[in-house]
Chains A and B, each alone.
Chain A
Amino acid sequence: MYKYDSVDKTIVKERVAQFRDQVNRHLKGELTAADLQPLRLRNGLYMQIHAHMLRVSIPYGLINSTQMRTLARIARKYDKGYGHFTTRQNIQYNWPELADVPDILDELADVEMHAIQTSGNCIRNISSDQYAGVASDEIIDPRPYCEIIRQWSTLHPEFYWLPRKFKIAVTGATEDRAAVQFHDIGLEVVHNEAKEIGFRVYVGGGLGRTPVIGKIIKEFLPRDDILSYCDAILRVYNLHGRRDNKYKARIKILVNAMGIDAFRDEVEAEWQFQKDGDLKLDDVDFDTMAEFFPLPDYEELQEGDSRIEKWLSLDSRFKDWYNNNTVEHRQTGYRIVNISLKEHAVAPGDITSEQMDAVADIADMYSFGEIRSTHEQNLVLADVREQDLLEVWRALDAQRLATANIGSVNDMICCPGLDFCSLANASSISIAKQINEKFTDFNELYDIGEVKLKMSGCMNACGHHHVGHIGVLGVDKKGVEWYQLTVGGDASNKAELGTRLGPAIAKDKVGDAVSDILHVYREQREDDERLLDTFRRVGVEPFKERVYAEVN
């Protein structure tokens, strides 16, 4: 993975010193809370209902075991012993004290981590495919490109006070696991006919109040031009994006108002000024960066070399875990292991400091010391030998990290909601529990198969409910929590927004409604259709009928 050089180290350390000075000035009364607010946000520090919340950046979801141990120590020392992985591959702490935050950031800087630009109206963490570098459907490894963009966008002096937050995602695989069409800029690394590497560039996608699928602004952008082209998009946005209404300030609103063609013309005109300037990259830049992401030292393993078959037949819990939580690897004899952070009765994405330490140890022993965080709020060990799977499973199981529910309806993603977030209309974590309780029979869960259930506590859509196969949105009706359901959303290449099922549903009926939807699916499915496929074929009506028949 990327290793900081002296420039990176200096910038991160000086950034901590700057923030320490800002906090000191604030505590001495020289910097008002109002003036501190946008500064602390750009260092990842929010004010939540009960306390501050610190969001630490995990660039494109990649961390090593040393970093994971630091995250564990911070949870123990400055928080209540746990952290929370987010849908943007970052980690949040819900209880740090303002005065401690500079020390926390210093500890992070020591292991090459930071919280820079994890909130505020600026360019946020670059996100990517959690299986980057190991996925069997990968065409080009996106990570070197992510890191290049991360550096360019970090403390960018001109694009630090944008109309609204700005998110960039990069994918390099046939199946888009990074939801690039739902980002302000989405980049798909592709080859052109001449086999040169470049990007298909999407712009103006996003969720939130006005969900929009990104539009293609450039079919093929040579990779040398990636920074100058992003620079041009950002400048047009900075100058023309709305600032009078925060709900209309994202770039998607600007692109829709101008129309993609006029927007493209404006960007192209802007781009001409610096296209061949200092931002232009060179092959050697990519080669140097790619060296940070080498293939691990894989062993030459034989197919069928392991005792997997035997284990599978002997232990049904192992078998369920293997089938649900592990994924095919490019390298023969290896598998990708998902670590479920969706244990029953635990808030999705939560992890204790003991569990973090254990994951670090397991990664050191079995997966080259690296870990990835996913959009689904789980973790991944990317390079596990098949012959080690039984031991890895046992070690994870001992930490309650082997719940065999990846990709199932219980593997839902969920924002913090009313329990932590001051913007929430409704709680989401308690609904997660309610749904979990409906599906305690794992055989039923497996029979239902892949369902991406996504839940947000308000229209801001941090839980990406619009693109859930089943989406749940908390709404407020005269001070009472209600829930709006959608079906058929999809964040992958076939990007689709969910269809509204009908009127909002009372809190204690959400579990029933989800279970109704899945019943209809099981009655109507043909062959090996997933919920999403059945929905596409039969439409919303049968689902609607069943859910509201019971509600009424």
Chain B
Amino acid sequence: MSVEKNLSPKNVADRSKKSRPKATPSRIQQNMASAKAIVDQKIVDNFIVHIAETEELKVTDLPATQVSVPLNLWLEEIDAIKSREGLIAVQIGVDEHPEDIAETLSDIDIIVLPFVNHVDGQAYSHAYKLRTRLGFKGQIRAIGDVKFDQLGFLTRVGCNAFELPDTEDLQTALRAFGEFSEVYQPSADGAKNIFSRRRAIH
């Protein structure tokens, strides 16, 4: 990733397929699936396989089970993907833009935000944009290097489903949702700015 990437407003608007590199190190490197997931703060069995992007990836290569597909594949083969059984789940890598799927959001059930390294916080802004200005109502699912200590803030910016590495204790991780009963700032969780709340009291 370099600083020159799509920076000027012109480039951000021009989202031709050619300018969108495939299989960068910022996206998942191989197919992923956790045994369990946390959805709306409950532990459930997981049924999604997240398909890693390759240069040659085609819809016909996808397994018949429930999958999430890379953003590039979705944009290239919307109709083929829509005609498959099951839910429509699309990944947005940290180096991709939620605006790219703005027009197709109503077709999507689940947006998957893969974390290659949890300290890369770009996906927090992606989730925020999806929930607020793009108005996405479906599920936003964080996967990859996502653990207990990230769940609280990811929830605030709009994620409501999480796949933790199978080595993590999900029961313990559920504590993450109750750590804070107060916040200062608005985000995608409907919390109000502390200053407008205090204004209402005065």
Contacting residues, chain B, for A243 (C-beta < 8 A): 1, 120, 122
CB distance from A58 to the nearest CB of B (A): 19
| Interface flag for B42 (CB, 8 Å) | no
Cβ–Cβ contact B119 & A278, under 8 A: no
Cα-based distance from A25 to B147 in the complex (angstroms): 13
Q: A35, A39, A269, A281: which contacts B9 (Cβ < 8 A)?
A: A269
CB closest chain-B residue, reference A37? B119
Cα-based distance from A282 to B202 in the complex (angstroms): 13
Contacting residues, chain A, for B147 (C-beta < 8 A): 35
**Chain A 215-274 residues near chain B, CB threshold 8 A:** 227, 235, 238-244, 248, 253-254, 257-258, 262, 265-266, 269, 273
| Interface flag for A155 (CB, 8 Å) | yes
Cβ–Cβ contact B1 & A14, under 8 A: no
**Chain B 125-154 residues near chain A, CB threshold 8 A:** 125, 128, 132-133, 147-149, 152-154
**Chain A 3-24 residues near chain B, CB threshold 8 A:** 5, 7, 10-11, 14-15, 17-18, 21-22
Which of A15, A22, A148, A279 has the most B CB atoms < 10 Å from its CB? A279
Cα-based distance from A227 to B187 in the complex (angstroms): 13
CB closest chain-A residue, reference B115? A161
| Interface flag for B182 (CB, 8 Å) | yes
| Stretch binding the partner chain, chosen from B15-23, B54-62, B191-199 | B191-199
Cβ–Cβ contact A282 & B2, under 8 A: no
Cα-based distance from A160 to B118 in the complex (angstroms): 11
Q: A21, A156, A161: which contacts B119 (Cβ < 8 A)?
A: A161
**Chain B 96-116 residues near chain A, CB threshold 8 A:** none
Cβ–Cβ contact A285 & B3, under 8 A: no
Q: B121, B192, B197: which contacts A159 (Cβ < 8 A)?
A: B121
Cβ–Cβ contact B172 & A242, under 8 A: no
Contacting residues, chain B, for A281 (C-beta < 8 A): 195
| Interface flag for B45 (CB, 8 Å) | no
Report B1-45 CB contacts with A as 1/0, cut-off 8 Å. 111110111000000000000000000000000000000000000
Cβ–Cβ contact B9 & A288, under 8 A: no
Cα-based distance from A241 to B128 in the complex (angstroms): 17
Cα-based distance from A266 to B11 in the complex (angstroms): 11
| Interface flag for A38 (CB, 8 Å) | yes
Cα-based distance from A10 to B172 in the complex (angstroms): 22
CB distance from A248 to the nearest CB of B (A): 7
CB closest chain-B residue, reference A12? B182
Cβ–Cβ contact A258 & B121, under 8 A: no
Tell me whether A278 and B186 are in contact in the complex, defined as CB-CB below 8 angstroms, given that A151-B194, A161-B124 are known contacts. yes
Cβ–Cβ contact B185 & A238, under 8 A: no
| Interface flag for A121 (CB, 8 Å) | yes
Cβ–Cβ contact A160 & B9, under 8 A: no
| Stretch binding the partner chain, chosen from B64-72, B85-93, B173-181 | B173-181
Tell me whether A235 and B125 are in contact in the complex, defined as CB-CB below 8 angstroms, given that A10-B182, A155-B180, A277-B186 are known contacts. yes
Contacting residues, chain B, for A273 (C-beta < 8 A): 132-133
CB closest chain-A residue, reference B122? A239
Contacting residues, chain B, for A484 (C-beta < 8 A): none
Q: A30, A35, A160, A238: which contacts B153 (Cβ < 8 A)?
A: A160
Cβ–Cβ contact A158 & B186, under 8 A: no
CB distance from A144 to the nearest CB of B (A): 11
Cβ–Cβ contact B182 & A11, under 8 A: yes
Cα-based distance from A14 to B179 in the complex (angstroms): 7
Cβ–Cβ contact B124 & A155, under 8 A: no
Cβ–Cβ contact A121 & B128, under 8 A: no
| Interface flag for A154 (CB, 8 Å) | yes
| Interface flag for B156 (CB, 8 Å) | yes
| Interface flag for A311 (CB, 8 Å) | no
Contacting residues, chain A, for B119 (C-beta < 8 A): 38, 121, 161
CB distance from B161 to the nearest CB of A (A): 17
Cβ–Cβ contact B8 & A30, under 8 A: no
Tell me whether A35 and B186 are in contact in the complex, defined as CB-CB below 8 angstroms, given that A14-B179, A157-B156, A161-B119 are known contacts. no
Cβ–Cβ contact B202 & A284, under 8 A: yes
Cα-based distance from A35 to B165 in the complex (angstroms): 13
Interface size on B, residues (CB 8 A): 47
Tell me whether A21 and B175 are in contact in the complex, defined as CB-CB below 8 angstroms, given that A14-B182, A158-B187, A285-B199 are known contacts. yes
Q: B9, B121, B132, B182: which contacts A7 (Cβ < 8 A)?
A: B182
Cβ–Cβ contact B3 & A152, under 8 A: no
Cα-based distance from A278 to B29 in the complex (angstroms): 39
Cβ–Cβ contact B182 & A158, under 8 A: no
Cβ–Cβ contact A242 & B3, under 8 A: yes
| Interface flag for B169 (CB, 8 Å) | yes
**Chain A 188-209 residues near chain B, CB threshold 8 A:** none
| Interface flag for A162 (CB, 8 Å) | yes
Cα-based distance from A14 to B199 in the complex (angstroms): 24
Cβ–Cβ contact A262 & B7, under 8 A: yes
Cβ–Cβ contact B133 & A14, under 8 A: no
Cα-based distance from A241 to B3 in the complex (angstroms): 7
CB distance from A141 to the nearest CB of B (A): 18
Cβ–Cβ contact A14 & B180, under 8 A: yes
CB closest chain-A residue, reference B25? A244
CB closest chain-B residue, reference A148? B195
CB distance from B108 to the nearest CB of A (A): 21
Cβ–Cβ contact B2 & A244, under 8 A: yes
Cα-based distance from A281 to B98 in the complex (angstroms): 29
Q: A39, A152, A159, A282: which contacts B184 (Cβ < 8 A)?
A: A152
CB distance from B126 to the nearest CB of A (A): 8
Cβ–Cβ contact B199 & A279, under 8 A: no
Cβ–Cβ contact B195 & A285, under 8 A: yes
Contacting residues, chain A, for B124 (C-beta < 8 A): 157-161, 238
Q: A11, A17, A288: which contacts B198 (Cβ < 8 A)?
A: A288
CB closest chain-B residue, reference A151? B184
Cβ–Cβ contact B198 & A161, under 8 A: no
Q: B120, B182, B186, B202: which contacts A161 (Cβ < 8 A)?
A: B120
A residues bordering B, Cβ < 8 Å?
5, 7, 10-11, 14-15, 17-18, 21-22, 25, 30-31, 35, 38-39, 121, 148, 151-152, 154-162, 227, 235, 238-244, 248, 253-254, 257-258, 262, 265-266, 269, 273, 277-279, 281-282, 284-285, 288
Can you identify 30 A-B contacts, CB atoms within 8 angstroms?
A5-B198, A7-B182, A7-B197, A11-B180, A11-B182, A14-B182, A22-B149, A154-B184, A157-B157, A158-B156, A160-B121, A161-B119, A161-B120, A161-B124, A227-B193, A235-B128, A239-B125, A241-B3, A242-B3, A244-B1, A248-B3, A262-B9, A265-B8, A265-B9, A266-B7, A266-B9, A277-B186, A278-B196, A282-B195, A288-B202
Supply 5 further A-B pairs (C-beta < 8 A) apart from A269-B9, A273-B133: A151-B185, A151-B194, A278-B193, A281-B195, A288-B198
